[in-house]
């Protein structure tokens, strides 16, 4: 066996206790992290977009997140939820290193959500509706937006989102309630459209 092949191991360091137990002996933590990056790059990018409201910042956040994750692959404790680990890194980079700059820029220049990101299909009414939903979600306050993205789009449970965002589950629920209230109008509008189109 090569000395270069890391094996399942348990390492205790001063700051972090790292225990790798559920891993296949043939997969290194670095390979696992690389795999997770490939698999989840779209969702991390999307989360970056939800946090920042700007696709160029989302690009940067994704790139920084992946580099940071690779630096820290040895901290991985379980291969089960590398996606939420990546999301956590992304959010931490956003909060600690990028947010202040970007928010200031957005306030000063009144950046509007980038509705052109919504894919255009053949049905123009559907497109208009999708763009409207997109805009409404992106105009939610940041805390609601990140919660909506994790729960509604990425399918995290309330408690998973609570753990990821480090807030009580009740906070997740009230953020979602508030978001629902704000998104209600566009939904009702859609329901009316659907009824009209189906001729009822």
Partner 1 sequence: MKFSDETLRAYLEGNADAAEAAAIEAAIETDLALEQRLMTLDPLAPVVQSVFENIPADAPQLELPQPMQVSTADASGGLWRLMAVAASVAVVAVSATFWATRPEPMGWAEQAAIYQSLYSPDTIESLDSSPVALDAQFARAEAQLGRSLNRDTLETLPGLELKRAQVLSFKGKPLIQVVFADDQGQPLAFCVIRQGEGAPAKDVKLAAISGVATATWAQDGYGYMLIGSSEQTDLDQQLNILTTTFAG
Query: Residue numbers of the site for partner 1 (CB under 8 A)?
Result: 1-6, 26, 28, 30-31, 34, 37, 41-42, 45-46, 49, 55, 58-59, 62-64, 66-67, 70-71, 96-98, 100-101, 104, 107-109, 117-119, 130, 133-134, 137, 148-149, 151-153, 155, 157-159, 169-170, 173-174, 177, 180-181, 183-184, 187, 190
What is the closest distance, in whole angstroms, from the C-beta atom of residue 44 to partner 1 in the complex?
8
What is the closest distance, in whole angstroms, from the C-beta atom of residue 18 to partner 1 in the complex?
17
Give the nearer residue to partner 1 in terms of CB position, either 130 or 163. Answer: 130
Give the nearer residue to partner 1 in terms of CB position, either 88 or 178. Answer: 178
What is the closest distance, in whole angstroms, from the C-beta atom of residue 104 to partner 1 in the complex?
5
Distances (CA, A) of 94 to 34, 101, 117, 147, 191: 21, 10, 21, 15, 36
Give the nearer residue to partner 1 in terms of CB position, either 66 or 76. Answer: 66
What is the closest distance, in whole angstroms, from the C-beta atom of residue 17 to partner 1 in the complex?
22
What is the closest distance, in whole angstroms, from the C-beta atom of residue 12 to partner 1 in the complex?
22
């Amino acid at each position: 066996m090569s000395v270069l092949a890391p094996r399942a191991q348990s390492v205790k360091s001063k700051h972090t206790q790292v225990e790798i137990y559920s891993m296949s002996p043939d997969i290194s933590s670095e390979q696992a992290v690389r795999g997770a990056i490939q698999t989840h790059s779209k969702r991390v990018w999307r989360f970056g977009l939800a946090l920042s409201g700007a696709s160029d910042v989302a690009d940067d956040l994704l790139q920084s997140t992946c580099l940071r994750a690779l630096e820290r692959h040895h901290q991985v404790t379980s291969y089960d939820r590398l996606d939420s680990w990546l999301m956590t890194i992304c959010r931490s980079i956003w909060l600690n290193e990028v947010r202040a700059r970007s928010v200031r820029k957005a306030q000063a220049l009144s950046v509007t959500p980038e509705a052109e990101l919504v894919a255009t299909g053949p049905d123009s009414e559907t497109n208009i509706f999708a763009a409207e939903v997109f805009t409404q979600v992106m105009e939610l306050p940041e805390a609601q937006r990140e919660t909506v993205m994790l729960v509604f789009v990425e399918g995290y449970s309330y408690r998973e989102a609570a753990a990821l965002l480090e807030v009580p589950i009740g906070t997740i629920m009230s953020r979602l309630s508030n978001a629902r209230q704000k998104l209600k109008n566009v939904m009702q509008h859609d329901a009316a459209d659907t009824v009209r189109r189906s001729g009822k």
